[in-house]
């Protein structure tokens, strides 16, 4: 069905055309239903038919979880550089410019501080629309600085991951962020400050292999794809049929890899409740 993509359609046998505003409807990637867009938005960008969680922007996620008017962005000035002068089908610097123009941010993560249920926390959220949420040197640096901010302020850290993995255009500079972010989180743990990792669809590669799976509490949205290599790559490598639901959040929960699955509409209350238990002197 493609009628909803057209700005004009024929109404009846008389051939008269009626203008239909573009973007009123969305198609669910899971069940295929055509749904009124505002109905999806009212439901926290979750399909009301099958509970499929659409991918959302970093700012939308912050708006859902952080108490209204309390978020203060930090380290927004950091921007990536093309240190390797990388080029595939397109120059890396051109890809960066295109993503920056599309998303309005300098790289694939937004970080800062805010209140979650009245509890102060440092927060970072990935922007998947920016080069697939890939982790380069700036993403790693912002996560490290956000962890250091939490350490200095003596407050918890919450990271929402949504990434295809390490950014190949930065080579070893990207892979180095796995060790750097892990080291910062180790210092946070030594100080007894909680770190909640929230995994959303998809979270893959070097992000999964580092900070995403190092949370004191690891949460995930329903049916989030989580892993290092993708299921197709794994199946072709080992030449075996993978179990049903392999690498989905539900599979990881059953096998003890994550702690709980939380629907988006319950995410704020769940995080606030956990922080109230883990954070000394919280309200």
Q: Which pLDDT tens digits describe the chain residue by residue (283 residues)?
A: 444 444 444 444 555 555 556 679 999 999 999 999 999 999 999 999 999 999 999 999 999 999 999 999 999 999 999 999 999 999 999 999 999 999 999 999 999 999 999 999 999 999 999 999 999 999 999 999 999 999 999 999 999 999 999 999 999 999 999 999 999 999 999 999 999 999 999 999 999 999 999 999 999 999 999 999 988 889 999 999 989 999 999 999 999 999 999 999 999 999 999 999 998 666 5
> In 3D, which of 223, 203, 229, 224 has the Cα closest to residue 214?
203
Domain positions in the chain: 1-54, 56-278
* β-bridge mates for residue 226, sequence order: 203
Tokens of 128: 């998947």
Determine the Cα–Cα distance for residues 60 and 196; give it in Å rounded to an integer.
19
255 contacts 233 by C-beta, under 8 angstroms: no
Determine the Cα–Cα distance for residues 149 and 37; give it in Å rounded to an integer.
38
CATH topology of domain 56-278: 2-enoyl-CoA Hydratase; Chain A, domain 1 (3.90.226)
Q: How many C-beta atoms surround the C-beta of residue 5 within 10 A?
A: 11
Determine the Cα–Cα distance for residues 196 and 4; give it in Å rounded to an integer.
40
């Amino acid at each position: 069905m493609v009628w909803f993509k057209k700005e004009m359609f024929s109404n009846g046998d008389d051939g008269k055309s009626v203008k239909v505003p573009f973007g009123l409807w969305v198609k669910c990637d899971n069940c295929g239903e055509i749904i009124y867009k505002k109905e999806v938005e009212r439901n926290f960008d979750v399909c009301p038919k099958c509970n499929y969680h659409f991918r959302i922007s970093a700012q939308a996620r912050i708006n859902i979880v952080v108490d209204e008017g309390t978020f203060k962005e930090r380290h927004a000035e950091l921007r990536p550089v093309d240190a390797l002068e990388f080029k595939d089908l397109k120059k890396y610097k051109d890809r960066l410019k295109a993503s920056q123009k599309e998303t309005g941010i300098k790289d694939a993560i937004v970080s800062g501080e805010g209140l979650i249920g009245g509890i102060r926390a440092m927060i970072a959220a990935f922007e998947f629309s920016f080069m697939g949420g890939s982790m380069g040197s700036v993403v790693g640096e912002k996560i490290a600085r956000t962890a250091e901010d939490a350490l200095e302020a003596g407050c918890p850290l919450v990271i929402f991951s949504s990434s295809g993995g390490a950014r190949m255009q930065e080579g070893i500079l990207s892979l180095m962020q796995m060790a750097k972010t892990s080291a910062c989180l180790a210092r946070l743990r030594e100080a007894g400050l909680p770190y909640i990792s929230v995994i959303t669809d998809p979270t893959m590669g070097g992000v999964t292999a580092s900070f995403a799976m190092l949370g004191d509490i690891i949460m995930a949205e329903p049916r989030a794809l989580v892993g290092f290599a993708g299921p197709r790559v794994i199946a072709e490598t080992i030449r075996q049929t993978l179990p049903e639901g392999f690498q989905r959040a539900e599979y990881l929960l059953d096998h003890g890899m994550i702690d709980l699955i939380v629907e988006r509409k319950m995410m704020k209350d769940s995080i606030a409740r956990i922080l109230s238990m883990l954070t000394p002197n919280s309200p």
